Amino acid sequence: MNGTDNPTAGGGSMGGGTATGGTSVRFRCGHGAPAVDARITLQRDCPLCVLLRETRRTRAQLIGKAAAGARAALAEETRIGATYEWICARGHSRFTATVREALTGPGCPKCLANAAAPAARFEGGVPFMKPGLRLGTSATEQRLRAALGERIRLPHRVNAVRISRTFYGKPEVWPDIIIPALRIAIEYDDPGRDGTAHVGLKEVSDREKDAALNEVGWEVIRVRAGGLAELGRHSVVCRSVTTAVVDRILDLLVEIRGSEAVARILIGTG
């Protein structure tokens, strides 16, 4: 049989058989011609059954993806190049594709386009430089960055992290301080001059931001100053930014990623 799916290829033993088309060949899996009509029974499964096995799916699962009108024919189908109408699992419109396409890829053109378009989906967690972004950085936040920068190497060329959802309409978030080597972001929160920053809706938004980072493998340490309570998995509650706060952040980095990873970015330790 040697790799061909041509149903007429049965070797010479059938003597004078002139079978054409798929009707006279029966496969070991039972697909193909009904037993009574079969002029050739191949000692292997039909191509579709082979592909199902390779892609670890059942024929019932495949049939479940097909449009209703296609199901009966698909139940008997042997050819992976045969074209059918399918239903997109994500609710896009019906689409036409071969069995091979339906089994090995999204099949649905809209799903295919989505997979190709927003690079964010594949770049989730990648830090990058968003030009002209930072505004309203507080003096305290700058002090925190400077103090931390004396202890560990902080890159200056990144200010945003790609996420796999959107946050305020963008496929990225902009943490206050980014440590790409550890995939850890540090946020500085305080109540601000009028005492209302980082409470209420802002707190919900902060949680969303943390969740978006967590989804792409990042952890967030929140420095919660000026009377703000803990928020998220890793909080450093403090009155103001002191050496003790920086020490606590260093401890948290080690707790989260381990001392070896942190040692690689430590500054000035013999």
Q: Which of 111, 126, 147, 181 binds Zn ion (CB under 5 A)?
A: 111
Verify binding: residue 186, Zn ion, rule CB under 5 A: no
Tokens of 22: 């798929």
Q: Which residue lies nearer to Zn ion by CB, 46 or 154?
A: 46
DSSP secondary structure string for all residues of 96-165: EEEHHHHHHS--SHHHHHHHHS-THHHHTT-EE--TT------HHHHHHHHHHHTTB---SS--EEEEEE
**Subset of 35-54 contacting Zn ion (CB under 5 A):** 46, 49
Verify binding: residue 224, Zn ion, rule CB under 5 A: no
Q: Which of 9, 63, 88, 261 binds Zn ion (CB under 5 A)?
A: 88
Verify binding: residue 90, Zn ion, rule CB under 5 A: yes
DSSP secondary structure string for all residues of 62-109: HHHHB-GGGHHHHHH---TT-EEEE--TTS---EEEEHHHHHHS--SH
Q: Which residue lies nearer to Zn ion by CB, 40 or 212?
A: 40
DSSP state of 169: T
User: What whole-number distance in Å separates Cα of residue 228 and Cα of residue 188?
Assistant: 11
Least distance to Zn ion, CB of residue 49, Å: 3
Contacting residues for 222 by C-beta, under 8 A, at least 6 apart: 186, 187, 189, 206, 210, 230, 231, 232, 234, 235, 236
Q: Which residue lies nearer to Zn ion by CB, 97 or 212?
A: 97
Q: Which residue lies nearer to Zn ion by CB, 32 or 171?
A: 32
Q: Which residue lies nearer to Zn ion by CB, 59 or 165?
A: 59
Verify binding: residue 29, Zn ion, rule CB under 5 A: yes
Verify binding: residue 108, Zn ion, rule CB under 5 A: yes
Q: How many residues bind Zn ion (CB under 5 A)?
A: 10
Q: Which residue lies nearer to Zn ion by CB, 111 or 250?
A: 111
Least distance to Zn ion, CB of residue 189, Å: 40
Sheet holding 177-179, edge to edge: 177-179, 184-189, 219-224, 234-237
Q: Which residues bind Zn ion (CB under 5 A)?
A: 29, 31, 46, 49, 88, 90, 92, 108, 110-111
